[in-house]
C-alpha cells in the first residue's frame, strides 16, 4: 500500500530551530480530503521581523494552545502509513518539528519526509528559482495568502502534484535518496571543470600521490571510476 502524502508547513518566531518556536502549523491530507491547522502560543513574544513575514501577532496566539497539545493532535492527524512533504523541509520545517517534540518531551514518530524544494532543484534545474511562490507562478496556479501555513500547504500540494506527475511517494523517496555522482572537479587547478574533461595525467598524479584515497575524496574517486578514468 502506497504511503499517504501529508503536505505540511510551519510558521515560526525565527530561523533557528534550537532557539525559536513554532507559532503555526498546518497540514493537508489530499487522500482523505482533510486539513489540520492551529496557531500555537510559543510562550514568548514574537519578534516584529517574524510577524512582518507571516503576519501572526502576539495577540493572535495569546489564547492558542501550547505545542504539547498541538503536537499530540498533529500525530493523530498523521496516523498510519504517511510521508510528510514540506518546501525546504530538511533545513527548516523538520528541524523545527524535531526540536519542538524533544523540547516538550513528546515522541516524534519516525515519519519519512520529502523536501519539495530539493526535488525541484534536482529535477527542474532549468528553472531560475525554486521558491514555492515562483513554482506557483510557473505552473499558473492562482495566488493565495502567501506565508500563512494552511494557504502554503494547499499551494504546495497543487505544485508538487504537477511536478511529480504519476510517481508514487515510494519512488520519490527512492529518487531523493540516490546519491548523485560528482560532476565537477571540487578543488585544485582544474576546480569547476567537468570531471570527464580532467586531463588523464592529472588523474594519474592524484592517484599516485594518494589523494584519491583520502576519505574526503571518496566521491571524487567514485566519479573517476564510473567514467573509467582511474589508472589500472
Cα distance between residue 87 and residue 160, in whole Å:
10
Q: What is the pTM of this model?
A: 0.78
Per-residue model confidence as pLDDT tens for the chain (232 residues):
689 999 999 999 999 999 999 999 999 999 999 999 999 999 999 999 999 999 999 999 999 999 999 999 999 999 999 999 999 999 999 999 999 999 999 999 999 999 999 999 888 888 899 999 999 999 999 887 666 788 899 999 999 999 999 999 999 999 888 776 678 888 889 988 989 999 999 999 999 988 998 888 888 898 888 888 998 7
Cα distance between residue 22 and residue 100, in whole Å:
8
Report whether 38 contacts 64 (CB < 8 A). Answer: yes
Within a 13 Å sphere around the CA of 43, how many CA atoms are in the beta-carbon half?
10
Q: Domain spans of the chain? A: 4-177, 181-232
Three-class DSSP category at 185: coil
- The catalytic residues are 147
pLDDT of 83 reads 97
Cα distance between residue 119 and residue 175, in whole Å:
9
Report whether 117 contacts 87 (CB < 8 A). Answer: yes
Q: Identify which of 121, 117, 71 has the alpha carbon closest to the alpha carbon of residue 98.
A: 71
Find out if CATH 3.10.105.10 is the number for domain 4-177. no
Read off the pLDDT of residues 29-65 as tens digits, 9 standing for 90 and up: 999 999 999 999 999 999 999 999 999 999 999 999 9
Amino acid at each position: 500500500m502506497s504511503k499517504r502524502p501529508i503536505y505540511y508547513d510551519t510558521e515560526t518566531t525565527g530561523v533557528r530551530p534550537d532557539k525559536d518556536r513554532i507559532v503555526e502549523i498546518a497540514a493537508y491530507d489530499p487522500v482523505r480530503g482533510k486539513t489540520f491547522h492551529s496557531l500555537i502560543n510559543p510562550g514568548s513574544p514574537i519578534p516584529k521581523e517574524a510577524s512582518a513575514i507571516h503576519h501572526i501577532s502576539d495577540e493572535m496566539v495569546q489564547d492558542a494552545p501550547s505545542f504539547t497539545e498541538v503536537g499530540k493532535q498533529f500525530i493523530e492527524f498523521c496516523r498510519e502509513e504517511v510521508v510528510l512533504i514540506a518546501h525546504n523541509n530538511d533545513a527548516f520545517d523538520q528541524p523545527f518539528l524535531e526540536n519542538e517534540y524533544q523540547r516538550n518531551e513528546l515522541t516524534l514518530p519516525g515519519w519519512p519526509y520529502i523536501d519539495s524544494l530539493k526535488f525541484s532543484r534536482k529535477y527542474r534545474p532549468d528553472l531560475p528559482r525554486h521558491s514555492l511562490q515562483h513554482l506557483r507562478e510557473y505552473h499558473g496556479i492562482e495566488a493565495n495568502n502567501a506565508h500563512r501555513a494552511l494557504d502554503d500547504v494547499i499551494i504546495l500540494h497543487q505544485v508538487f502534484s504537477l511536478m511529480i506527475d504519476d510517481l508514487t511517494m515510494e519512488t520519490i523517496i527512492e529518487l531523493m535518496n540516490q546519491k548523485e555522482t560528482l560532476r565537477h572537479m571540487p578543488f585544485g587547478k582544474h576546480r569547476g571543470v567537468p570531471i570527464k574533461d580532467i586531463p588523464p595525467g592529472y588523474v594519474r598524479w592524484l592517484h599516485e600521490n594518494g589523494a584519491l584515497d583520502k576519505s574526503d575524496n571518496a566521491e571524487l574517486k567514485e566519479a573517476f571510476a564510473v567514467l573509467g578514468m582511474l589508472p589500472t
